[in-house]
A and B are shown apart, each in its own frame.
Chain A
Amino acid sequence: MTTPGLDDATAELLAGSLREVLAEGGDLTAALAELGWADVLADDPARATTLLFTEHGRALAHSRVLDDVLLAELAGGLPAATGPRALLYPLHSDHPADPRGPLTGLLLGGLDGIAEVVVPTALDPADAGDTAGATLRILPADLVAAAAQPVRGFDTAAGWLTVSAAPAGPAGPATPAGDAWTRAVAAGRRALAAEIIGGCEAALAIAVAHTSARVQYGRSIATFQAVRHRLAEAHVAVESLRSELTVAWGSAGQADGGAWAARLVKLRAGLAQAEVMRHAVQVCGAMGLSLESELHRFVARTAALDLLLGDHRTLAEQLGTELLAGAELEPVVAI
């Protein structure tokens, strides 16, 4: 690559720093500021974002850095912020909520210190569930907080909250989002794909280490073809995701933020985590099912990340429906 940006050595150093910061588990936003992350991001958004989210996934971190990615795309069309903002994510794929309310959605963390919540809603109530027209509303954080519940689902460690029935009435003036919501979703999907790579790599490393060390019939179980081939398939899943993410970044500068390729890579990320986790759980045996093994954390986390901004089953169906209706079979990748 001839484009300016992060070289390998700098990226490796940054990855090391990120790992330390994430392992400490303190305030990620403050730690990133100390690292001069804004400059790194401006210099090489693709590599910086992929690096940050891959490490975030590997570390099973929970933070609101994904909000920053989406809000950066949305900010241009919004009135000046009165304080720190959070984003309310749609519960289902990228479908903005019905503006008639009550508003529902997901928050990536509690709202302490947050002043306002940006809520994408459908432009026209009749279009609820349609991505075409989104409008952005701003709600006071305390109103949303009152309707928020910690997620007690598959992944209990993500720190997410579900919002049910936040009143739509007092939402501030609606700002038509234009392409901004589409761009924000695309950027979010690329970041999530990187986070899923991190989670998959960590799970695969656990499975490789376990099967190499675990001895049965007098030899390590990684010498059995059935085990080796599952691990090889998991590797293929991760590598194909990595290539497709690179391709998805190639169209990020388009007016719609590279939405088509970003949806594809989110679909692939969802498939990859399903495949990697299925194989990893099997080859780790009962140990992989135990609470004391780390593996279940990656199973649950990547499942949650798959859900956010569109799970792979929904995206495949949506894509196929559009193709059947005549959408162009874009080649996406050029030499």
Chain B
Amino acid sequence: MTTTAATTTTAAEAAVTDPAVLRDDLDAYARGLRAWLASEPALDRWRGRHYPNTEERIADHGLLMGVLFRAGWNRYGWPESAGGLGGDERHRAVLYDGLAAAGLPIPAPHLMLETLGPPVVHFAPELAAAYLPAYLRGEEWWGQGFSEPEAGSDLASLRCRARREGDTYILSGSKLWTSHGATSSRLVCLVRTGTPESRHRGLSMIMLDADTPGVTIRPIALASGENELAEVFFDDAVVPASNLVGDEGKGWAVAMYLLQWERAMYAWLSAADALRRLRDLRGQVATRLAAGARLPDGSAARLGSVYEQIIALRARSAGTVRRLAAGDTVGPEASVDKVLLATVEISLFDLARDLLGTEFVLGATDEVRAWRNEWWFSRSATILGGSAEVQRTIIADHVLGLPKEAK
């Protein structure tokens, strides 16, 4: 049973459709969005939907983006030059929250859009103008190529090379753990343009088409069997130099810029979705209880505690989103958001696992399979985008100012 937060709206609330008003008046945008989400029949096919695999899920979520785009709602928060309708991060945050509250999934491609969109808009407006509109329409999405087989937490040691030749770069090497890599149309990669020893000073960010000759993508299945990630091989792939995101040699600064959104917007988006899933779980547990099932000892306290953790994450993350929207630089303190996010993901899906009990281990329904897949995926919350250990070290170094760890 999925409980949707039914919001009663009046005709007057739904009346505002002028993009300039929705752009400048966040409350009008929020009201208009809620009214539309509650009344648009085309959205029903995405409610409570399960998919046979990740590829079908992301493709169907792309279609949902198309619906959102045609109605305009996912264009706010992005500049007009890039297919948007103006506004800022708060519009995007309200959209994610609204979708989750209406019992809808936040389209999976929005995850990487939040990470890769802002730096491309900021550092490569021509690339944003060329490709972001199709992203917002859900016709394409991008993968992020940062980690490598020998460069994980120690990102500055990456070795994937981009050699300048005339108006092009020749890429050779590989990238690992690329989210949505197997289905992405484009990749945004951090590559080495400096000497092998140049560490973070010799890096550049570049965008390339996934079907560039010399690029091979191998999907990587998580333990759930779902192809959530990919490995990407570059065998002298030729990329136009105009595809640089930021200047050559400035890739580290672009990556640091990007991290602000990766940590902050992703945290808000995840919190919105976590609340939707907790509502789903509560509904499923209520059905079981009504059928005479017993919950393990301490279940109520854990449920209360997970709910409160989600609210704490929302409280923290809302502040960070507002700071981003105001143009503030969000520094190492964003690691607090990431630690809270990871804690929520782990506790929510552990709770689901324990409350579903036998069913989690033995059940074969789509519903239970989704919980299992998400349980596996939730384990990555303390690993991807900077591991739990990296986040704690950032806080220790740059927020608490502790003496540096011994090398």
Residues of A within 8 A of B (CB): 208, 211-212, 219-220, 222-225, 228-229, 231-233, 235-236, 239-241, 243-244, 246-247, 261, 264, 267-268, 271, 313, 315-324, 326, 328-329, 331-335
Contact = CB atoms under 8 A, between A and B. Distances in A.
Nearest to B318: A333
Contacts of A271: 305
Contacts of B97: 331, 334-335
Interface in B299-352: 299-305, 307-308, 311-316, 318-319, 321-322, 333, 336, 339-340
B21 to A, nearest CB: 18
A313 B275 contact: no
A320 B402 contact: no
A283 B146 CA distance: 35
B402 A222 contact: yes
A335 B322 contact: yes
A264 B314 CA distance: 12
Contact of B304 (A232, A239, A244, A315): A315
Q: 4 nearest interchain CB pairs?
A: A320-B304, A319-B304, A320-B300, A228-B396
Nearest to B316: A243
Contact of A243 (B301, B312, B404, B405): B312
Is the interface on chain B under 10, 10 to 19, 20 to 34, or 35 or more residues? 35 or more
Given A268-B312, A332-B311, A335-B30, 17 more contacts: A228-B393, A229-B396, A236-B339, A236-B395, A240-B340, A267-B308, A318-B304, A320-B299, A320-B302, A320-B304, A329-B275, A331-B314, A333-B315, A333-B318, A334-B30, A335-B26, A335-B94
A241 to B, nearest CB: 8
16 contacts: A222-B396, A223-B405, A225-B405, A232-B399, A233-B392, A235-B400, A241-B312, A243-B315, A247-B318, A316-B308, A319-B308, A320-B299, A324-B300, A331-B275, A331-B311, A335-B321
Contacts of A235: 336, 395, 399-400
Contact of A324 (B275, B289, B395, B406): B289
B279 interface: yes
Contacts of A317: 300-301, 304
A319 B90 CA distance: 30
Given A233-B392, A235-B336, A212 B402 contact: yes
B389 A323 contact: no
Contacts of A223: 402-406
A249 B30 CA distance: 22
Contacts of B307: 319-320, 323, 329
Contacts of B16: none
B15 interface: no
Interface in B26-66: 26, 30
Given A235-B399, A316-B305, A334 B318 contact: yes
Nearest to A225: B405
B285 interface: yes
Interface of B: 5, 26, 30, 90, 93-94, 97, 101, 268, 275, 278-279, 282, 285-286, 289, 299-305, 307-308, 311-316, 318-319, 321-322, 333, 336, 339-340, 389, 391-393, 395-396, 399-400, 402-406
A323 B127 CA distance: 47
B201 to A, nearest CB: 26
Nearest to A212: B403
B403 A264 contact: no
Given A222-B402, A229-B396, A323-B303, A236 B282 contact: no
Given A264-B308, A329-B307, A335-B322, A228 B301 contact: no
A322 B285 CA distance: 13
Nearest to B282: A323
Contacts, number: 158
Contacts of B308: 264, 267-268, 316, 319
Contacts of A243: 312, 315-316, 318-319
A232 B312 contact: no
A198 to B, nearest CB: 18
A320 B336 contact: no
Contact of A316 (B282, B304, B322): B304
Contacts of A244: 311-312, 315-316
B215 to A, nearest CB: 38
Nearest to B391: A232
A241 B333 CA distance: 15
B319 A236 contact: no
B373 to A, nearest CB: 22
A324 B392 contact: no
A228 B394 CA distance: 10
Contacts of A332: 311, 314-315
Contact of B278 (A231, A315, A329): A329
Residue from B393, B400, B404 having most chain A Cβ neighbours under 10 A: B400
Nearest to A221: B403
Contacts of A228: 392-393, 396, 400, 402, 405
Given A320-B305, A323-B282, A331-B97, A231 B402 contact: yes
A211 B393 contact: no
- Residue from B302, B311, B336 with most neighbouring chain A CB atoms (10 Å): B311
Nearest to B343: A236
Nearest to B268: A335
Nearest to B91: A335
A17 B213 CA distance: 69
A333 B311 contact: yes
A232 B395 contact: yes
Nearest to A204: B400
Contact of A264 (B311, B321, B333): B311
A212 to B, nearest CB: 6
A244 B314 CA distance: 9
B101 A331 contact: yes
User: Which of B313, B340, B403, B404 has the largest count of A CB atoms less than 10 A from its CB?
Assistant: B403
A250 to B, nearest CB: 9
